[in-house]
């Protein structure tokens, strides 16, 4: 089982070690960071994060509950209280040897619970590059629906990457988690 805990400066070195090449940096962060990750850029990233009284962005490390080991990173940002919407960004399963074990799905489901139950959001969206088939499958299994494709939105080297837009609404999430409906 995956638990989400606030991402803090104590977690910076582990994330910097995971994001160890420029392509992975671009896949993980889009154009938010330049390679390599630095302490200064991560200080800016966590500034004003994880504040439930003025929610804008929540940044988490994913911890495997059995072992207590940090296995990933995920954030929920772009929060609009008026529209009751947010956007999942910067999803990363840490070590490549840990991938394909359901960690991504555990992180996403835990974040959806926070978004829909704690923050009372109506809609949560995300974007994923069209070549990232493992992530696309993870999001589909978590209940997301593909809503469209933004073609050739990012250039990396000599190639362009297209972005698949996905979303899930609170009613869709509640249909997948009827126990959450009773607790709400």
pLDDT of the residue at 180: 64
Q: What is the CATH number of the domain that holds 119?
A: 3.40.630.30
pLDDT of the residue at 50: 87
CB 162 within 8 A of CB 130: yes
CB 135 within 8 A of CB 86: no
Q: Mean pLDDT per segment of 10 residues, for the chain of length 184 residues?
A: 95 95 90 91 90 86 94 96 96 74 92 96 97 95 97 94 98 89 56
Residue 128 CA to residue 125 CA, distance in Å, equals 10
Work out the burial of residue 120: count CB atoms within 10 Å of its CB; fewer than 13 is exposed, 13-18 middle, 19 or more buried. Answer: exposed
- Domain count along the chain: 1
The count of residues in the chain is 184
pLDDT of the residue at 30: 85
Residue 52 CA to residue 55 CA, distance in Å, equals 5
Q: Is the pTM of this model over 0.75?
A: yes
Domain, as residue range, for 98: 2-183
pLDDT of the residue at 182: 58
pLDDT of the residue at 100: 63
**Phi and psi for 108 in degrees, rounded to 5?**
-65, -45
104 C-beta neighbours (distance < 10 Å), count: 26
């Amino acid at each position: 089982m995956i638990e989400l805990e606030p991402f803090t400066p104590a977690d910076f070195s582990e994330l910097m070690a995971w994001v160890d090449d420029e392509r992975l940096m671009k896949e993980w962060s889009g154009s938010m960071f330049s390679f390599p990750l630095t302490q200064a850029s991560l200080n800016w990233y966590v500034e004003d994060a994880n504040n439930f009284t003025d929610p804008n962005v929540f940044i988490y490390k994913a911890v495997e509950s059995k072992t207590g080991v940090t296995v990933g990173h995920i954030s929920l940002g772009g929060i609009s209280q008026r529209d009751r919407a947010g956007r999942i960004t910067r999803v990363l399963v840490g070590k490549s040897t840990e991938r394909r074990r359901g960690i991504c799905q555990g992180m996403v489901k835990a974040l959806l619970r926070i978004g829909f139950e704690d923050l009372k959001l109506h809609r949560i969206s995300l974007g994923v590059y069209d070549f990232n088939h493992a992530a696309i499958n993870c999001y589909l299994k978590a209940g997301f629906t593909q809503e469209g494709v933004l073609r050739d939105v990012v250039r990396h080297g000599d190639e362009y990457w297209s972005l698949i837009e996905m979303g899930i609404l609170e009613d869709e999430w509640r249909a997948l988690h009827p126990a959450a409906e009773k607790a709400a």
